[in-house]
Protein backbone atom coordinates (compact mmCIF):
# COMPACT_ATOMS: atom_id res chain seq x y z
CA UNK A 1 0.00 0.00 0.00
CA UNK A 2 1.09 3.54 -0.76
CA UNK A 3 2.57 5.56 2.06
CA UNK A 4 0.19 8.15 3.48
CA UNK A 5 2.85 10.88 3.67
CA UNK A 6 6.54 11.52 3.15
CA UNK A 7 8.91 13.26 5.54
CA UNK A 8 12.01 15.23 4.72
CA UNK A 9 14.49 16.50 7.28
CA UNK A 10 15.78 20.06 6.96
CA UNK A 11 17.69 22.36 9.30
CA UNK A 12 14.45 24.31 9.89
CA UNK A 13 12.27 21.33 10.74
CA UNK A 14 10.57 18.51 8.91
CA UNK A 15 8.72 18.91 5.64
CA UNK A 16 5.59 16.80 5.36
CA UNK A 17 4.09 16.04 1.98
CA UNK A 18 0.93 14.13 1.28
CA UNK A 19 -1.72 14.08 -1.40
CA UNK A 20 -4.27 13.93 1.39
CA UNK A 21 -3.10 16.74 3.60
CA UNK A 22 -4.09 20.36 3.45
CA UNK A 23 -2.92 21.83 6.74
CA UNK A 24 -4.74 25.12 6.25
CA UNK A 25 -8.11 23.49 5.61
CA UNK A 26 -7.60 20.92 8.33
CA UNK A 27 -6.76 23.45 11.01
CA UNK A 28 -9.23 26.10 9.89
CA UNK A 29 -12.44 24.16 9.20
CA UNK A 30 -14.08 24.38 12.59
CA UNK A 31 -12.89 21.18 14.25
CA UNK A 32 -10.24 22.85 16.42
CA UNK A 33 -10.29 26.39 17.74
CA UNK A 34 -6.73 27.28 18.68
CA UNK A 35 -5.20 27.68 15.22
CA UNK A 36 -4.87 30.82 13.14
CA UNK A 37 -3.84 31.36 9.56
CA UNK A 38 -1.95 34.58 9.03
CA UNK A 39 -2.03 36.78 5.95
CA UNK A 40 1.03 35.17 4.37
CA UNK A 41 -0.48 31.70 4.77
CA UNK A 42 1.56 30.58 7.76
CA UNK A 43 -0.34 28.66 10.40
CA UNK A 44 0.31 28.70 14.10
CA UNK A 45 -1.45 27.35 17.13
CA UNK A 46 -1.61 24.95 20.01
CA UNK A 47 -2.53 21.33 20.47
CA UNK A 48 -2.77 20.60 24.17
CA UNK A 49 0.42 22.20 25.50
CA UNK A 50 2.41 22.15 22.26
CA UNK A 51 2.92 25.19 20.11
CA UNK A 52 3.44 24.65 16.40
CA UNK A 53 4.14 26.82 13.38
CA UNK A 54 3.49 25.42 9.92
CA UNK A 55 4.71 27.05 6.75
CA UNK A 56 3.40 25.99 3.36
CA UNK A 57 6.36 25.30 1.10
CA UNK A 58 7.09 23.74 -2.24
CA UNK A 59 5.41 20.37 -2.26
CA UNK A 60 4.33 20.29 1.34
CA UNK A 61 4.44 21.90 4.74
CA UNK A 62 7.38 22.85 6.89
CA UNK A 63 6.75 21.97 10.54
CA UNK A 64 8.96 24.69 11.93
CA UNK A 65 11.57 23.50 14.42
CA UNK A 66 10.02 20.04 14.67
CA UNK A 67 12.33 17.02 14.69
CA UNK A 68 11.53 13.75 12.98
CA UNK A 69 11.21 12.17 16.40
CA UNK A 70 8.74 14.79 17.60
CA UNK A 71 6.72 14.35 14.45
CA UNK A 72 6.62 10.58 14.72
CA UNK A 73 5.70 10.55 18.39
CA UNK A 74 3.12 13.33 18.45
CA UNK A 75 2.13 15.21 15.32
CA UNK A 76 1.74 12.12 13.17
CA UNK A 77 -1.00 10.91 15.47
CA UNK A 78 -2.54 14.36 15.95
CA UNK A 79 -3.01 14.70 12.19
CA UNK A 80 -4.33 11.14 11.93
CA UNK A 81 -1.60 9.99 9.56
CA UNK A 82 -2.06 6.41 10.72
CA UNK A 83 -5.24 6.30 8.67
CA UNK A 84 -5.26 6.11 4.89
CA UNK A 85 -7.31 9.04 3.68
CA UNK A 86 -6.46 8.28 0.08
CA UNK A 87 -8.29 5.00 0.48
CA UNK A 88 -11.18 6.41 2.50
CA UNK A 89 -11.73 9.42 0.25
CA UNK A 90 -11.43 7.26 -2.84
CA UNK A 91 -14.23 5.08 -1.56
CA UNK A 92 -16.44 7.99 -0.53
CA UNK A 93 -16.09 9.66 -3.92
CA UNK A 94 -18.55 7.12 -5.29
CA UNK A 95 -21.27 9.47 -4.08
CA UNK A 96 -21.68 12.48 -6.43
CA UNK A 97 -22.15 15.12 -3.72
CA UNK A 98 -19.24 13.81 -1.73
CA UNK A 99 -17.12 13.84 -4.83
CA UNK A 100 -17.95 17.52 -5.24
CA UNK A 101 -17.04 18.21 -1.63
CA UNK A 102 -13.80 16.23 -1.91
CA UNK A 103 -12.86 18.12 -5.06
CA UNK A 104 -13.62 21.45 -3.45
CA UNK A 105 -11.62 20.91 -0.27
CA UNK A 106 -9.23 17.99 -0.68
CA UNK A 107 -6.84 17.23 2.14
CA UNK A 108 -8.99 17.82 5.19
CA UNK A 109 -8.06 15.33 7.90
CA UNK A 110 -9.78 14.67 11.21
CA UNK A 111 -7.64 15.88 14.10
CA UNK A 112 -7.08 13.67 17.12
CA UNK A 113 -7.41 16.19 19.89
CA UNK A 114 -7.22 15.60 23.62
CA UNK A 115 -10.62 14.31 24.81
CA UNK A 116 -11.01 16.91 27.55
CA UNK A 117 -9.99 19.72 25.22
CA UNK A 118 -12.53 18.53 22.65
CA UNK A 119 -15.27 18.17 25.26
CA UNK A 120 -14.70 21.62 26.68
CA UNK A 121 -14.32 23.26 23.26
CA UNK A 122 -17.50 21.80 21.84
CA UNK A 123 -19.51 22.66 24.92
CA UNK A 124 -18.42 26.22 24.22
CA UNK A 125 -19.38 25.83 20.56
CA UNK A 126 -23.10 25.37 21.22
CA UNK A 127 -25.38 28.10 19.83
CA UNK A 128 -22.26 30.10 19.05
CA UNK A 129 -20.18 31.18 16.07
CA UNK A 130 -16.61 30.23 15.27
CA UNK A 131 -14.90 33.60 15.87
CA UNK A 132 -16.48 33.88 19.29
CA UNK A 133 -15.80 30.23 20.13
CA UNK A 134 -12.15 30.92 19.40
CA UNK A 135 -12.22 34.00 21.59
CA UNK A 136 -13.72 32.18 24.55
CA UNK A 137 -11.33 29.22 24.21
CA UNK A 138 -8.35 31.54 23.97
CA UNK A 139 -9.41 33.49 27.07
CA UNK A 140 -9.94 30.20 28.93
CA UNK A 141 -6.43 29.08 28.05
CA UNK A 142 -4.70 32.32 28.94
CA UNK A 143 -6.67 32.51 32.18
CA UNK A 144 -6.07 28.97 33.44
CA UNK A 145 -3.59 27.19 31.15
CA UNK A 146 0.08 26.74 31.99
CA UNK A 147 2.39 28.92 29.97
CA UNK A 148 5.48 27.62 28.23
CA UNK A 149 8.80 29.46 27.92
CA UNK A 150 7.49 31.56 25.06
CA UNK A 151 4.27 32.44 26.86
CA UNK A 152 1.98 30.12 24.91
CA UNK A 153 -0.85 28.92 27.11
CA UNK A 154 -1.67 25.24 27.21
CA UNK A 155 -5.25 24.09 27.30
CA UNK A 156 -6.08 24.07 31.03
CA UNK A 157 -6.60 20.79 32.86
CA UNK A 158 -10.08 19.81 33.98
CA UNK A 159 -9.03 20.24 37.61
CA UNK A 160 -7.73 23.76 36.98
CA UNK A 161 -11.05 24.64 35.38
CA UNK A 162 -13.02 23.02 38.18
CA UNK A 163 -11.06 24.95 40.74
CA UNK A 164 -11.89 28.23 39.03
CA UNK A 165 -15.61 27.58 39.33
CA UNK A 166 -18.40 29.34 37.47
CA UNK A 167 -17.54 32.71 38.97
CA UNK A 168 -13.89 32.26 38.16
CA UNK A 169 -14.82 31.75 34.50
CA UNK A 170 -16.58 35.11 34.26
CA UNK A 171 -13.66 36.81 32.45
CA UNK A 172 -13.84 34.38 29.53
CA UNK A 173 -17.43 35.55 28.81
CA UNK A 174 -18.79 32.12 27.98
CA UNK A 175 -22.30 33.15 28.99
CA UNK A 176 -24.69 30.37 29.95
CA UNK A 177 -22.06 27.80 28.93
CA UNK A 178 -19.88 28.49 31.98
CA UNK A 179 -21.96 26.24 34.21
CA UNK A 180 -21.75 23.48 31.60
CA UNK A 181 -17.97 23.77 31.44
CA UNK A 182 -17.79 23.37 35.21
CA UNK A 183 -20.12 20.39 35.28
CA UNK A 184 -18.00 18.73 32.60
CA UNK A 185 -14.82 19.46 34.53
CA UNK A 186 -16.40 18.05 37.66
CA UNK A 187 -17.44 14.91 35.82
CA UNK A 188 -13.97 14.36 34.37
CA UNK A 189 -12.09 15.08 37.59
CA UNK A 190 -14.31 12.78 39.63
CA UNK A 191 -13.83 9.97 37.14
CA UNK A 192 -17.54 9.81 36.45
CA UNK A 193 -16.64 10.47 32.84
CA UNK A 194 -13.91 8.02 31.83
CA UNK A 195 -12.73 8.69 28.30
CA UNK A 196 -10.81 5.45 27.87
CA UNK A 197 -13.85 3.48 28.95
CA UNK A 198 -16.13 5.51 26.69
CA UNK A 199 -13.85 5.04 23.70
CA UNK A 200 -14.29 1.27 24.00
CA UNK A 201 -18.10 1.46 23.89
CA UNK A 202 -20.37 1.07 20.88
CA UNK A 203 -21.19 4.45 19.39
CA UNK A 204 -24.72 4.78 20.79
CA UNK A 205 -23.62 3.79 24.29
CA UNK A 206 -20.65 6.15 24.16
CA UNK A 207 -22.97 8.99 23.19
CA UNK A 208 -25.39 8.17 25.98
CA UNK A 209 -22.54 8.13 28.47
CA UNK A 210 -21.25 11.55 27.36
CA UNK A 211 -24.78 12.99 27.41
CA UNK A 212 -24.92 12.39 31.15
CA UNK A 213 -22.83 15.53 31.48
CA UNK A 214 -25.03 18.61 31.86
CA UNK A 215 -24.59 20.75 28.78
CA UNK A 216 -23.68 17.83 26.54
CA UNK A 217 -26.28 16.70 24.02
CA UNK A 218 -26.04 14.47 20.95
CA UNK A 219 -24.19 17.00 18.79
CA UNK A 220 -21.45 17.76 21.33
CA UNK A 221 -21.17 14.09 22.26
CA UNK A 222 -20.59 13.08 18.63
CA UNK A 223 -18.01 15.87 18.25
CA UNK A 224 -16.12 14.59 21.27
CA UNK A 225 -16.20 11.07 19.87
CA UNK A 226 -15.03 12.20 16.44
CA UNK A 227 -12.45 14.86 17.26
CA UNK A 228 -11.39 13.74 20.73
CA UNK A 229 -11.63 9.98 20.68
CA UNK A 230 -10.77 9.16 17.08
CA UNK A 231 -14.15 7.62 16.33
CA UNK A 232 -14.52 8.45 12.66
CA UNK A 233 -17.88 6.68 12.54
CA UNK A 234 -19.25 9.39 14.83
CA UNK A 235 -21.60 11.75 13.03
CA UNK A 236 -22.24 15.20 14.53
CA UNK A 237 -25.42 16.75 13.15
CA UNK A 238 -25.50 20.52 13.39
CA UNK A 239 -27.72 22.97 11.50
CA UNK A 240 -25.58 22.68 8.36
CA UNK A 241 -25.43 18.91 8.29
CA UNK A 242 -29.15 18.81 9.03
CA UNK A 243 -29.78 20.84 5.88
CA UNK A 244 -27.46 18.56 3.90
CA UNK A 245 -29.29 15.49 5.13
CA UNK A 246 -32.69 16.91 4.24
CA UNK A 247 -31.62 18.06 0.79
CA UNK A 248 -29.22 15.33 -0.30
CA UNK A 249 -29.67 12.25 1.84
CA UNK A 250 -33.28 12.07 3.09
CA UNK A 251 -32.98 8.32 3.53
CA UNK A 252 -29.61 8.32 5.26
CA UNK A 253 -25.92 8.48 4.41
CA UNK A 254 -24.81 6.52 1.32
CA UNK A 255 -23.20 3.13 1.89
CA UNK A 256 -19.81 4.28 0.62
CA UNK A 257 -19.36 6.29 3.83
CA UNK A 258 -19.93 3.36 6.16
CA UNK A 259 -17.52 3.46 9.07
CA UNK A 260 -16.27 6.90 8.04
CA UNK A 261 -19.41 8.97 8.41
CA UNK A 262 -17.56 11.54 10.49
CA UNK A 263 -14.96 12.16 7.80
CA UNK A 264 -17.70 12.48 5.21
CA UNK A 265 -19.51 14.89 7.51
CA UNK A 266 -16.45 17.14 7.76
CA UNK A 267 -16.10 17.43 3.99
CA UNK A 268 -19.81 18.02 3.49
CA UNK A 269 -19.94 20.57 6.29
CA UNK A 270 -17.10 22.61 4.86
CA UNK A 271 -18.36 22.44 1.28
CA UNK A 272 -21.88 23.40 2.33
CA UNK A 273 -20.73 26.34 4.41
CA UNK A 274 -18.89 27.63 1.37
CA UNK A 275 -21.87 27.14 -0.90
CA UNK A 276 -20.25 24.41 -2.97
CA UNK A 277 -22.88 21.72 -2.60
Partner DNA sequence: AACCAGGCGCATA
Partner DNA sequence: TATGCGCATGGT
> Which is nearer to DNA, 14 or 26 (by Cβ)?
26
At 96, which helix (H) or strand (E)? helix 96-104
> Which is nearer to DNA, 62 or 207 (by Cβ)?
207
Q: What CA–CA distance (Å, rounded) separates 192 from 209? A: 10
Long-range contacts of 205-212 (CB under 8 A, 24+ apart): 206/231, 210/119, 212/187
Cβ at position 66, least distance to DNA in Å: 25
Residue 96 makes CB contacts below 8 A (sequence gap 6+) with none
Backbone φ and ψ of 10, nearest 5°: -140, 165
Among the listed ranges 53-61, 91-99, 130-138, 246-254, the one in contact with DNA (CB under 7 A) is: 130-138
Region 35-94 residues binding DNA, contact defined as CB under 7 A: none
Residue 209 makes CB contacts below 8 A (sequence gap 6+) with 193, 197, 198, 201
Cβ at position 14, least distance to DNA in Å: 27
Cβ at position 245, least distance to DNA in Å: 11
Q: What CA–CA distance (Å, rounded) separates 240 from 58? A: 34
Region 194-223 residues binding DNA, contact defined as CB under 7 A: 211, 213-221, 223
Among 122, 155, 198, CA closest to 50? 155
Per-residue mark of binding to DNA, 233-252 (x: CB under 7 A): ---x-xxxx-----------
User: Does the footprint of DNA cover residue 125 (CB under 7 A)?
Assistant: yes
Identify whether 219 is a catalytic site residue. yes
Q: 147, 219, 258, 276: which is the annotated catalytic residue?
A: 219
Cβ at position 152, least distance to DNA in Å: 23
Q: What CA–CA distance (Å, rounded) separates 257 from 262? A: 9
User: Does the footprint of DNA cover residue 132 (CB under 7 A)?
Assistant: yes
Per-residue mark of binding to DNA, 171-190 (x: CB under 7 A): --xxxx--------------
Tabulate helix, strand, coil % of the chain (nearest 5). 50, 10, 40
* Site for DNA, rule CB under 7 A: 29-31, 125-132, 173-176, 211, 213-221, 223, 236, 238-241, 265-266, 269
Residues known to be catalytic: 219
Amino acid sequence: MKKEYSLKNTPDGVIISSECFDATLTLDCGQAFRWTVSGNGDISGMAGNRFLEIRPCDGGYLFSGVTEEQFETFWKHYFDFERSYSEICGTMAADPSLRKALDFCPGIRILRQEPWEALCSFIISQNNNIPRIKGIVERLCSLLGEKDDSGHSAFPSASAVLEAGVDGLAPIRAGFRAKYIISAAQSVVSGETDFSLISSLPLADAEKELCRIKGVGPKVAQCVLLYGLGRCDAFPVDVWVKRIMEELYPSGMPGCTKGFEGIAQQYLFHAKRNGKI
